Amino acid sequence: MTTQIIKAISLHQPWASLIPMGLKKHETRSWSTSYRGSLLICAAKKTSIHQKLTHSYFLSKYQQILAHTDNYIKWDDLPFGYAVALVDLTACISMTQAFIDQQPQTELETGDWRVGRFAWKLDNIKRIIQPIPITGKQGLFNAQIDLHSQHLEAVA
């Protein structure tokens, strides 16, 4: 087993899984980062009724998009406390109204798009087929994992 240290971030569900589902290509934050490179997307353990209702809304609204992928995941099947995707963080964009107006509806609905916030651009999104148990933290953190033994699947 070869472990490596990689930057990671925790998101609540369903937002964490929306990334490997192909619906979310930006992570919106109130803070900027100068970090660029590989980023592990982790699903926090926390659950709430709001999260479950949001997930149900997304599945209902984007059912046609999700039905054509292997990433159609029911609430009870979502991983909590696991790394779910590996992405490349390629930009951190300060949100202006002009930038927000350029975003597709899926992005606007899957993030907090307000002027003055930041959109972290996620490229080369790969779903981790067997999510990896991980203890998340707030902010960017270092995670030590064995990615070489994982099966990753590119997300369109």
3-state secondary structure 100-154: HHCCCHHHHHCCCCCCCCEEEEEEEEEEEEEEEECCCCCCCEEEEECCCCCCEEE
End-to-end alpha carbon distance in the chain: 29
Q: Are 24 and 18 in contact (CB under 8 A)?
A: yes
Cis peptide before 14 (omega within 30 of 0): yes
DSSP structural state of residue 44: -
Each of the 156 residues of the chain gets a pLDDT tens digit; together they read 577 889 999 999 999 999 998 889 999 999 999 999 999 999 999 999 999 999 999 888 887 777 666 656 788 889 999 999 999 999 999 999 999 999 999 999 999 999 999 999 999 999 998 888 998 888 899 998 877 666 777 776
Q: Are 121 and 89 in contact (CB under 8 A)?
A: yes
Instruction: Return the structure tokens found at 99.
Output: 């930038």
CATH architecture of 4-154: Roll (2.30)
Q: Which helix (H) or strand (E) holds 5?
A: strand 4-11
Q: Are 108 and 73 in contact (CB under 8 A)?
A: no
Helices and strands: H and E segment counts in the chain: 5, 7
Domain ranges in the chain? 4-154
- pLDDT value of position 150: 65
- pLDDT value of position 3: 79
- pLDDT value of position 73: 75
Per residue in 97-133, pLDDT tens? 999 999 999 999 999 999 999 999 999 999 998 888 9
